[in-house]
Structure 1
Amino acid sequence: MAVQTGLGEPRGPWFLSPELGPDGRPRWDVPGSGQEPSRRRRGGRLLAAAAVVALSTVSGAAAGGWVAGHDAPGPAAASAAPVPAELVTAARKTVPGVVSVLAGGASGSAATGSGFAIDNQQHIITNDHILAKGGGGAVTVEMPDGRRFAAEVVGREPGSDLAVLRVPAAAGLAPLPLAKPRTTRVGEPVLAVGSPLGLTGTVTAGIVSALDRQVRLGTNRRSAVQTDASINPGNSGGPLVNARGEVVGVNTAIATIDGNGSIGIGFAIPIDQVQQTADTIIGKGG
């Protein structure tokens, strides 16, 4: 019987993102990195079968995973079912509103994740565990076009694993639309958008596998949206959106067996919980 360790580090053929230096640290301090940022952007018991682990990428740890698409499409690829047009549209609308988040990294621990704007005041939703793993250090947000801004931490809520950041108005982030509470349905298609393994603007597709799944998020046991959309370290804080491009949750954790990374069971904080927590944080912090 497999032992569920929940180590959270993907194992397998080792892959080092071009966004990371030789030591595995995010290359945030090297604006060029061989090409301009904008050009790079364009190019206890949680389940009976698995343990839930957080999804931020900590500096110094190598990330594992397969890199797909190196070979030319074969006959099988040519006969694959077409991607639904609504998902293509949803991805096109969502990617420009998703940012990368770096916490810490100057001389201590560092962690990376994702986030997205929730209003026109440039408030950004992300996961609290990213900031926690960053050791409370400075937070930097990188826009989809490669611009970087120092972010203010408006507030944190470890109990729900949510945090709110704010960047200057010059960032010009457009907020993503939010799904209405309790409208998400099991079986509907969804997209997970973020920066897994440092690969910004990554989109993966799946369905809503279950609702009200009881898992440990932050310091509390809460209901989560379960999905089979592939999410990995670095996806933390990024949006899970439906086919209309509406955010239905914030990607937060995955289940693992023997610490082998994503096995197709991921969890997102439901958007109604996100909205409520964000409103409380923003109300207190401005």
Structure 2
Amino acid sequence: MPDPHPRSGLGEPRGPSFLPGRPREHTEPLGPPAPPPSRTTQHPPPTRPARTPRPLAAAVLAAVLAGGLAGYAAGALGDDDPVPASAPAARAPGDLQAVAARVLPSVVSVRADRGQGSGFVFDERGRILTNAHVVEGSSRVSVELQDGRRLSAEVIGDDPAHDVAVLEPETSRGLRAADLATGTRPAVGDTVLAIGSPLGLSGTVTSGIVSALDRSVRLGEGSGGGPRRALQTDASINPGNSGGPLVDNEGRVIGINTAIATLDQNRGGSIGIGFAIPVGDAVEAARTIIDGG
């Protein structure tokens, strides 16, 4: 029998799906049972009033995705005047298996003082991009590569306003930079893969599409920078995916997975609405960190 509580190199996964015991089911009271039918007369069944759909929560919450971290970001989601996208060139669908195999060697799991997340190698020196909220409070972290190697990495710096941090591992040997789609703009409907370590399960790949562009989302806590633009995707991402890449069907990184929308702050999980920092914005913030400014 397979182990019902899988483990990874980063420890036991966290989250509702891995709590021991029987999973809770959401049920609604059905009211008292109907009386048994009379033997002498037949009465039509009572007419139940039509159910009025319950409105969703007035505010959707955008939850930061670092596993083991407390705190959720206020989901300031806006649809005000999104920037119109130019018509993209026709793209042939890629072989997603080949895309995943191409990108996975560049993706790492990140373990920090307060929890764990994901990251990816973004330059030829082996430096790693992740989210600022993943490494918050840490000067050094541990990164795990897809081949199982663990490396110590220095937190060069972070930019909480953009929720970006840069790590420099102790060695660049065997590290391969991911391709970055900094010169192109994704389009709604493009196929994407989200790669990372949700719930500590390293090397997890999920697929979906870009479902919207230029969403206004407040990233992290106390960022002070106000809402930032983000890509919206329905690819399944969960706590622990933070800092991992969102890639297109050619294997190029288009964003950094950073937040999810959830209707329940205490039981956050993927509901098919996730957000990623556009890779161009992330790389610009990373260069500023590296340059010391």
TM-score, normalisation: structure 1? 0.71
Report the number of matched residues. 219
| Cα deviation digits, residues 109-143 of structure 1 (max 9, x gap) | x31000001111111000010112xx326311111
Tell me the SS of whatever aligns to 1:237: coil
Bigger helix fraction: 1
| Aligned-partner SS, 2:161 | helix
Deviation sequence 1:28-63 (CA, Å, 0-9, x none): xxxxxxxxxxxxxxxxxxx96521010011179xxx
For residue 119 of structure 1, give the secondary structure of its aligned residue in structure 2.
coil
Aligned Cα root-mean-square deviation (Å): 2.2
Secondary structure of 1:114 counterpart: strand
Return the offset for 1:224: 0.1
In the alignment, what sits opposite 2:7? 18
In 2, the alpha carbon distance for the partners of 1:55 and 1:111 equals: 10
Q: CA deviation at 1:185?
A: 0.6
Q: Quick one: structure 1 residues 265 and 59, their matched pair in 2 at CA, closer, same or farther if it must change by over 3 Å? A: closer
Q: In 2, Cα distance between the equivalents of 1:22 and 1:232?
A: 15
Among 250, 258, 261, the alignment partner of 2:256 is: 250
Distance 1:22 1:271 in 2: 30
- 1:196 Cα offset (Å): 0.5
**Native 8 Å contact 2:259 2:276 kept in 1:** yes
8 Å contact from structure 1 (residues 189, 242) kept in 2: yes
Equivalent of 1:127, from 124, 127, 131? Answer: 131
1:7 equivalent in structure 2 = none
Larger Rg: 2
- Partner deviation per Cα, 1:129-161 (whole Å, 9 max, x = no partner): 0112xx326311111111111101111101111
1:166 is the counterpart of 2:168: yes
Which letter maps to 1:229?
A
Structure 1 residues 50-100: Cα deviation after superposition (integer angstroms, max 9, x where no partner): 21010011179xxxxxxxxxxxxxxxxxxxxxxx65222211101111000
Q: Is the 8 A contact 1:57 1:111 kept in 2?
A: yes
SS in 2 for 1:272: helix
8 Å Cα contact 1:116/1:126 also seen in 2: yes
1:177 Cα shift?
Answer: 0.4
Secondary structure, in 3 states, of the residue corresponding to 2:238?
Answer: coil
Query: How far 1:276 sits from its partner (Å)?
Result: 0.6
**Cα gap change, 1:216/1:251 in structure 2, threshold over 3 Å: closer, same or farther?**
same
Q: TM-score with structure 2 length normalisation?
A: 0.70
Question: Which residue does 1:116 correspond to in 2?
Answer: 120
What is the deviation of 1:217?
A: 1.2
| Correspondence list, 1:54-69, <5 A | 54-58=64-68
* Separation (CA, whole Å) in 2 of partners of 1:250 and 1:21: 23
Aligned to 2:104: 95
Contact map agreement 1:181 1:271 (CA 8 A) in 2? no
Assess, with a 3 A threshold, how the Cα gap between structure 1 residues 172 and 23 changes in structure 2: closer, same or farther: closer
Question: Paired residue for 1:33?
Answer: none
* Distance of 1:277 and 1:180 partners within structure 2: 13
For the 8 Å contact 2:11–2:200, the answer to whether it is kept is no
2:185: which partner in 1?
183
Take 1:275 and 1:194, find their aligned partners in 2: how far apart are those partners? 19
Q: Which runs of 4+ in 1 moved over 4 A?
A: 20-24
**Structure 1 residues 111 and 120: CA distance shift in structure 2, 3 A:** same
Which of 265, 268, 273 matches 1:265? 273
| 2:13 and 2:200 in contact (8 A); partners too | no
State the AA in 2 paired with 1:248.
I
Corresponding residue for residue 199 of structure 1: 201
| 5+ long unaligned stretches in structure 2 | 15-56, 71-92
Pick the aligned partner of 1:50 from 60, 64, 71.
Answer: 60
Per the TM alignment, residue 258 of structure 1 is displaced from its structure 2 partner at its CA by 1.9
